[in-house]
Amino acid sequence: MKSHAKVVVIGGGVVGCSVLFHLARHGWTDVVLLERDELTSGSTWHAAGGMHTINGDPNVAKLQKYTISLYKEIEELSGQATGVHLTGGVLLAATEARLDWLRGVVAKGRYLGIDLEEISANEAAELMPLIDPKQFVGAVRNKEDGHLDPSGVTHAYAKAARKLGAEVERFTKVEDIVRRPDGTWRVITNKGEVVAEHVVNAGGLWAREVGRMVGLELPVLAMEHMYLITEDMPEVAAWNAKTGTEIIHAVDFDGELYLRQERGGMLMGTYEKANKVWSEFQTPWDFGHELLEPDIDRIAPSLEVGFRHFPAFERTGIKQIINGPFTFAPDGNPLVGPVRGLPGFWVACGVMAGFSQGGGVGLALSNWMIEGDPGADIWAMDVARYGDWATMAYTNAKVRENYSRRFSIRFPNEELPAGRLLKTTPIYDLLSAKGAQWGVSYGLEVPLWYAPAGVKDEFSWRRSSDFSHVANEVATVRESVGMAEISNFAKYKMTGEGAAAWLDRIFACKLPKPGRMTLAPMLKDDGKLIGDFTLANIGDGEWFIAGSGIAEQYHMRWFEAHLPADSSVRLEALGQKLTGLAIAGPKARDVLAKVSRADVSNAGFPFMAVAKMDIGTAPCLVGRVSYTGDLGYEIWVAPEYQRAAFRALMAAGEEFGLGLFGSRALNALRLEKNYGSWAREYRPVYGPLEAGLDRFVAYGKDADFIGKTGALAERKQGGKLRLRTFILDADDADVIGDEPIWYDGAVRGWVTSGGYAHHSKKSVAIGYVPKEIADKSDGFEIELLGKRHAARVQAAPLFDANFERMRA
Ligand SMILES: Cc1cc2nc3c(=O)[nH]c(=O)nc-3n(C[C@H](O)[C@H](O)[C@H](O)COP(=O)(O)OP(=O)(O)OC[C@H]3O[C@@H](n4cnc5c(N)ncnc54)[C@H](O)[C@@H]3O)c2cc1C
């Protein structure tokens, strides 16, 4: 074994081997993979080997498509057969709600280049002869489904990597990882040490244990998973003989089953409701090539449905039941990327669909390590989407929920119960008493809307029980004054003699003067967006930044990676050490004037001013800015004072008709201002010009800000896309995001978010289209629940296009 390497990859499952291959293919060949046993000695060897392109997140779907396209290449390069059978498959719907969901999947496929087609249940039965079509209302055909040989694929990655110069050391167990003073890593094994610049944790079933070696508690947990293999079936033999083809794959969402042919019989797997965690706290090191005891009782309810939906199974014996463990993150997507606070330590774990996702994970990680950027939008699998709040118990609750809901529909207005009430702010009970309906963001309870007694969300793809109540909240803001809790923002404090110079480099905007705020885009080296913030200069060398709450860890990783080595800049993520309230609407100033002794007149406290002031008795930081696009204020307050500030504002607001509003109303309000938000409109694959944030980029400022060259190049060349707001002729449903945008009979763009703008009474969608068609005012259509609706570009904001309300 070599003593030094640029990269040590820990783990020879399908994921580690893919990472190794991608690093070598990308030109880093001084790389070594350490595997404690034979390759495939974790989850990989007993996988069912199914692969597919469908994923709830379109960007993960793209990487799945890439993974499937890769198998031919690694087979050729390595000479190792991968056993790929690209049979195609059908996705089955037994209910109308499921069919609506599947139509959304088909629609997404149009701009992802995934070939999906809605077909009838009878057509599905013609393609897959074991189906009882009477059990289904419709289906979707996917030509890119199939299965493979898990061991063949893993060895093909490893052999291809070796041919490119990478090394693989089997029977080499990593026992500890120690950071050296120069920032490199000592990887200590049972066979000696390797010093490496980078370490990748691809430990699969042992990813937690490998993480613990560097003090990291990763939010992953293994679940038991069972599939059965039947005896040979005459129906299968007959089909094979008649068509000369295998029986295609089937996913029966309502039966929570997946099926494929296995030799002369069938394989049927299920994500059972009565699921079981495996090795809750610690994965035993002596676990390897053994299987777990099957428990047919646990999967019996699913099998019963399976026998009904696929009657031939009832007439066949079960040859074998495989029960094996594999890991999940709380949301079921992988954990990939560099770990905040551990430079050179990377993770590629929590991969629950290694044969659909392993290639994409390897590609993204190798790009990230070598180029400094994953080269794709991988937010949905970025390890930084979780923070310390994703505790072991939280992970346990969410993984179990996610496993049992693997094939369940999640409606756009549906909030899930597991792991809840983890983080609450001090006014949680006060808001609950007012009817708050809660959602969750980055572990924090967030008010979505306020319901009268007896009313709650009815889950639906269409406008639902909250519609008229959210409309009332919007009207309160536009007509008098509303108050919202905004503690879910990420908040950062920055001080130190180097702070201003550092901010000037990290943000693309001009720095605000003391007492002022500005919108602050943050760019990556390639000039694309990596964040959008509000930056406030409090004075006396103190700065305050507010940004996307879900991206706190993501942004801290970026900030810290760019901090100067000396202590001239001090940065703190405030999390829930600072809570927030917002008031907005034409009467907002009257309310503020009543509770504060500061001069809050338009002259004394103009738009984008910021100042410390007391609200009632509570010390607060107040900024005159509002995401509602109305006259409004954001109020930041330490949690111990939040109740006092809230009560003072409620009391003062009474005479002005103050009412509470939630994040759904806020969405309706910001849509009619064409305001975007992080992770929806603003993501790291768009440039500021494309995203319409170029007006906040100080292209000419003296400071050599990160991304300046890329941003200037984008401005010169014009980028490729444009973000546009559309008004949609839709009457009972609104977009939620990821719907295709059609122009001139072809899919040309995609929706990033939308909803109903209650004040303007318009269905609004925001999305990206190619710049060549972005200035066409009409001719667009947006596909929603399987129907195309005419859409027009709304260039000027629907509400207060001249910004008179905000600045008044
Ligand atoms: C019953 C079952 C059916 C499945 N069906 C499918 C399917 O149809 N399609 C699909 O895509 N996925 C399926 N999966 C999931 C799939 O198996 C996983 O997604 C995949 O195997 C994860 O691979 P991995 O490389 O991340 O982890 P693992 O396969 O667990 O690999 C981790 C490797 O790291 C090694 N390792 C760990 N710690 C150390 C250390 N300290 N030193 C050295 N080596 C170490 C281990 O020995 C192991 O070989 C199934 C899983 C199960 C259990």
Distance 444 CA to ligand 1 centre (A): 32
Under 8 Å CB-to-CB from 435, ≥6 apart: which residues? 450, 451, 452, 453
Structure confidence at residue 675 (pLDDT)? 97
DSSP β-ladder status, 529-539 and 146-147: unpaired
Judged against a pLDDT cut of 90, whether residue 542 lies above it is answered with: yes
Q: From atom 50 of ligand 1, which residue's Cα is the shortest distance away?
A: 47
Q: From atom 32 of ligand 1, which residue's Cα is the shortest distance away?
A: 204
At CA 798, angle to CA 794 and CA 799, rounded to 5? Answer: 160
For ligand 1, whether the C-beta of 350 sits within 6 Å is no
Neighbouring C-alpha atoms within 13 Å toward the C-beta of 547: 26
Q: What is the pLDDT of residues 104-115, one digit of tens each?
A: 999 999 888 888
DSSP β-ladder status, 490-495 and 570-573: antiparallel
The DSSP H or E segment spanning 99 is: helix 96-112
Structure confidence at residue 54 (pLDDT)? 86
Distance 740 CA to ligand 1 centre (A): 35
Structure confidence at residue 254 (pLDDT)? 87
Distance 65 CA to ligand 1 centre (A): 20
For ligand 1, whether the C-beta of 204 sits within 6 Å is yes
DSSP β-ladder status, 249-252 and 787-793: unpaired
Distance 15 CA to ligand 1 centre (A): 7
Structure confidence at residue 15 (pLDDT)? 98
Q: What is the pLDDT of residues 495-508, one digit of tens each?
A: 999 999 999 999 99
Q: What is the pLDDT of residues 707-755, one digit of tens each?
A: 999 999 999 999 999 999 999 999 999 999 999 999 999 999 999 999 9
For ligand 1, whether the C-beta of 213 sits within 6 Å is no
For ligand 1, whether the C-beta of 374 sits within 6 Å is no
Beta bridge partners of 117: 141
Chain centroid to Cα 172, Å, comes to: 35
Q: What is the pLDDT of residues 38-76, one digit of tens each?
A: 999 999 998 999 999 988 888 999 999 999 999 999 999
Structure confidence at residue 56 (pLDDT)? 83
The percent of residues in the chain predicted with pLDDT above 90, rounded, is 96
For ligand 1, whether the C-beta of 189 sits within 6 Å is no
For ligand 1, whether the C-beta of 47 sits within 6 Å is yes
3-state secondary structure at position 236: helix
Judged against a pLDDT cut of 90, whether residue 289 lies above it is answered with: no
Both structure tokens of 633 = 């204020």
For ligand 1, whether the C-beta of 347 sits within 6 Å is no
Torsion of CA 528, 533, 534, 535, to 10 degrees: -80
For ligand 1, whether the C-beta of 43 sits within 6 Å is yes
For ligand 1, whether the C-beta of 362 sits within 6 Å is no
Average pLDDT estimate for 380-409? 96
Q: From atom 12 of ligand 1, which residue's Cα is the shortest distance away?
A: 353
For ligand 1, whether the C-beta of 110 sits within 6 Å is no
Judged against a pLDDT cut of 90, whether residue 288 lies above it is answered with: no
Distance 232 CA to ligand 1 centre (A): 28
For ligand 1, whether the C-beta of 18 sits within 6 Å is no
Both structure tokens of 179 = 């950071």
For ligand 1, whether the C-beta of 174 sits within 6 Å is yes
Ligand 1, atom nearest to 353 Cα: 11
Q: CA-to-CA distance for 542 and 639, rounded, in angstroms?
A: 20
Structure confidence at residue 281 (pLDDT)? 97
Average pLDDT estimate for 238-254? 96
For ligand 1, whether the C-beta of 206 sits within 6 Å is yes
For ligand 1, pick from 17, 33, 38, 43 the residue to mutate: most ligand atoms within 8 Å of CB. 43
Q: What is the pLDDT of residues 646-665, one digit of tens each?
A: 999 999 999 999 999 999 99
At CA 593, angle to CA 589 and CA 596, rounded to 5? Answer: 130
Average pLDDT estimate for 328-334? 97
Both structure tokens of 662 = 């939630």
For ligand 1, whether the C-beta of 111 sits within 6 Å is no
Ligand 1, atom nearest to 210 Cα: 41
Average pLDDT, the chain: 96
For ligand 1, whether the C-beta of 44 sits within 6 Å is yes
What are the angstrom distances between the C-alpha of 505 and each of 435, 496, 562, 696, 707? 45, 15, 10, 14, 9
3-state secondary structure at position 224: strand
Ligand 1, atom nearest to 326 Cα: 53
Average pLDDT estimate for 601-620? 98
Q: What is the pLDDT of residues 169-207, one digit of tens each?
A: 999 999 999 999 999 999 999 999 999 999 999 999 999
Chain centroid to Cα 436, Å, comes to: 25
Q: From atom 51 of ligand 1, which residue's Cα is the shortest distance away?
A: 47
Ligand 1, atom nearest to 41 Cα: 49
Least confident of 251-260, 360-369, 690-699: 251-260
For ligand 1, pick from 326, 328, 351, 355 the residue to mutate: most ligand atoms within 8 Å of CB. 326
For ligand 1, whether the C-beta of 12 sits within 6 Å is yes
For ligand 1, whether the C-beta of 202 sits within 6 Å is yes
**Can you give the pTM of this predicted structure?**
0.97
Distance 321 CA to ligand 1 centre (A): 18
For ligand 1, whether the C-beta of 48 sits within 6 Å is yes
Both structure tokens of 715 = 């401005």
Average pLDDT estimate for 149-170? 98
Distance 339 CA to ligand 1 centre (A): 21
**Residue 431: which pLDDT band, with cuts at 50, 70 and 90?**
very high
Closest listed residue to residue 380, CA positions, set 350, 354, 406? 350
Ligand 1, atom nearest to 225 Cα: 1
Identity at 644, one-letter amino acid code: A
Distance 296 CA to ligand 1 centre (A): 23
Ligand 1, atom nearest to 205 Cα: 30
Which DSSP symbol is given to 253?
T
The percent of residues in the chain predicted with pLDDT above 70, rounded, is 100
